[in-house]
Copies of this chain bind each other. A is one copy, B any other.
Amino acid sequence: LTDRLLSHPGRLSILYFLTLIALVTLLLLLPFATRGWVFTNFPVAFFTAVSALSTCGIPVVNTAEYWSAFGQVVILLSIQFGGLGVMTFASMVALGVSRRLKVSQRMLTASELGTNKLSEIKSVLSVVLGTSIIAEALTFVLLLPDLFHLNHGNVGRTLWEALFYAVSAYNNTGFTPDATGLHINRWGVGLPILLSAFVGTLGFPVVLNLVQCARRRMSPKRWTLHTKLTLTTTGILVLASLAWFLLVEWSNSALFPADDPGMKLRRALSAAVMPRSAGFDISWVPEVTDETKVLMSALMFIGAGSSSTAGGIRVTTFAVIVLICCASFTGHRDVVVFRRRLPRRIQMTAVSVMTACFALVLVGSVALMFVTGCDFVDAVFETCSAFSLGGYSVGVANAGNPACLFILAAAMIVGRLGPLTIAYAISRPMAPEPIRYPQENIIVG
């Protein structure tokens, strides 16, 4: 049985997440998990468990005020196991492809993924774990001085907050241990979190490839295609949203409390980097214009890097779709980028993932409108945030509305497991078609 499960990372990841969701929900239902020693109702406990395990991070109760120390530890461990789980499974899926190819092709694929030293599942796990621990430890240490100052010298509280922030940032969850929210305006707290969250969104294969190339002093030209495409697309998205926030929200006093250009730049930068996955610093979100909500929904839907703790359809999926359009409109048959041709199967996967996820978000949004009566723009925002594990909320998620919590929790579970499972299903070796039907043209467009 173990063998069968291990040979199917898709099934294994579903089993892993569902077991953890059940376990964490049970733990959070205990009165011991709350500050007030009360029985949390089932929808709230279930929603918080799913939100933490999927590294989405939408809160329905104030994490610092409602949950006890025990509850917060459970949430922290959920984030850590959720993040590790998805990175490990995603890498296993990526390797699973190569394990079925011939040795020569396998070497090629493996080196493309930046994982040519990992031939076994155990090594994948240890490298993922190692990377996480290094990144989180770095963030933890960098956060200590300023948090120590902010907590007026309370050592225990400083250590706890630094640990919580470090785990929450690298895993892109966005839960905060402080009732007043994130001190984003202090560089000492904001910058390590921003950087850690940004590295987390790139995804494990990109980080590993960058580290390897830097060690061997290889020029950026020799990065893998996946690394080039992820970094380029991420860069364009971040710059475009930075420009948008500065232009459109310049006079929004909720986002930019003081009229200081330096502060505006800092906050716009955090607003540009965070939405695609991290979801920290959420106090200003319900105050933005509807236009910005639409932009943020689109950014969240696109999401971050593949095999990262972030969600969405992934930047590479988005890039492939754009490249297919460019090729079509210029009358080319091959989809080419950085002097490489994209395989046909990758193109089909990208189209399918985007279409299925778009349909899901649309259906989820309309369902939310039915059960909460909220605006379309808010429903889209909240569904995109849940599906893409963004973690922002414009207030539709409401502890008093179980139907709404279940819809959003379902969006999170699908957002966490869906693209992975789809990618796995498609990455299976395709049997040669038993019957090949004749072609027939139709008219489209």
Q: A residues engaging B (CB < 8 A)?
A: 90, 94, 97, 109, 112-113, 203, 205, 224-226, 229, 290-291, 293-295, 298, 306-307, 313-314, 316-317, 320-322, 324-325, 327-329, 331-334, 336, 339-346, 348-353, 355-356, 362, 365-366, 369-370, 375-377, 380, 419-420, 422-423, 425-426, 428, 430-431, 433, 436-445
Q: How far is it, in angstroms, between the C-alpha of A344 and the C-alpha of B333 when the chains are bound?
A: 9
A321–B425 touching, CB < 8 Å: no
Known contacts A329-B425, A350-B444: does B295 contact A366 (CB below 8 Å)?
yes
Contacts of A293 in B (CB 8 A): 376
B439–A226 touching, CB < 8 Å: no
B314–A444 touching, CB < 8 Å: yes
Q: How far is it, in angstroms, between the C-alpha of A225 and the C-alpha of B97 when the chains are bound?
A: 35
Q: How far is it, in angstroms, between the C-alpha of A314 and the C-alpha of B352 when the chains are bound?
A: 19
Q: How far is it, in angstroms, between the C-alpha of A445 and the C-alpha of B426 when the chains are bound?
A: 11
B369–A290 touching, CB < 8 Å: yes
A437–B291 touching, CB < 8 Å: no
Q: Tell me which of B324, B346, B352, B355 contacts A442 (CB under 8 A).
A: B346
Contacts of A369 in B (CB 8 A): 290-291, 294
Q: How far is it, in angstroms, between the C-alpha of A375 and the C-alpha of B351 when the chains are bound?
A: 30
Known contacts A375-B376, A440-B224: does B428 contact A349 (CB below 8 Å)?
no
B430–A333 touching, CB < 8 Å: yes
Known contacts A205-B443, A443-B94: does B341 contact A324 (CB below 8 Å)?
no
Q: Tell me which of B340, B375, B444 contacts A353 (CB under 8 A).
A: B444
Known contacts A329-B422, A331-B426, A444-B316: does B351 contact A324 (CB below 8 Å)?
yes
Chain B residue nearest to A353 (CB atoms) is: B445
Q: Tell me which of B339, B377, B436 contacts A377 (CB under 8 A).
A: B377
Known contacts A290-B375, A441-B112: does B340 contact A328 (CB below 8 Å)?
no
A331–B430 touching, CB < 8 Å: yes
Q: How far is the CB of A246 from chain B (nearest CB, A)?
A: 16
Contacts of A439 in B (CB 8 A): 340-343
Q: Tell me which of B205, B351, B431 contacts A325 (CB under 8 A).
A: B351
B419–A445 touching, CB < 8 Å: yes
Contacts of A362 in B (CB 8 A): 294, 298
Chain B residue nearest to A335 (CB atoms) is: B348
Task: Report 17 cross-chain contacts, Cβ distance below 8 Å, ordered by A residue.
Answer: A112-B442, A203-B443, A290-B369, A298-B362, A306-B444, A324-B348, A328-B348, A328-B349, A328-B422, A329-B426, A332-B430, A332-B433, A341-B436, A341-B437, A343-B439, A376-B376, A423-B444
Q: How far is it, in angstroms, between the C-alpha of A348 and the C-alpha of B334 when the chains are bound?
A: 11
Q: How far is it, in angstroms, between the C-alpha of A422 and the C-alpha of B375 when the chains are bound?
A: 35
Q: How far is it, in angstroms, between the C-alpha of A441 and the C-alpha of B224 when the chains are bound?
A: 9
B295–A341 touching, CB < 8 Å: no
Q: Tell me which of B97, B306, B370, B377 contacts A445 (CB under 8 A).
A: B306
Contacts of A350 in B (CB 8 A): 444-445
Q: Tell me which of B332, B346, B445 contacts A444 (CB under 8 A).
A: B346
Known contacts A425-B331, A426-B328, A445-B313: does B440 contact A341 (CB below 8 Å)?
yes
Contacts of A431 in B (CB 8 A): 331
Shortest 6 CB-CB contacts between residues of A and residues of B: A376-B377, A328-B352, A419-B445, A306-B443, A423-B445, A340-B440
Known contacts A331-B426, A425-B331, A430-B331: does B225 contact A321 (CB below 8 Å)?
no
A321–B355 touching, CB < 8 Å: yes
Q: Tell me which of B203, B346, B377 contacts A441 (CB under 8 A).
A: B346
Q: How far is it, in angstroms, between the C-alpha of A257 and the C-alpha of B335 when the chains are bound?
A: 54
Q: How far is it, in angstroms, between the C-alpha of A313 and the C-alpha of B331 when the chains are bound?
A: 19
Q: How far is the CB of A70 from chain B (nearest CB, A)?
A: 36
Q: Tell me which of B333, B343, B419, B442 contacts A229 (CB under 8 A).
A: B442
Q: How far is it, in angstroms, between the C-alpha of A370 and the C-alpha of B348 when the chains are bound?
A: 36
Chain B residue nearest to A320 (CB atoms) is: B444
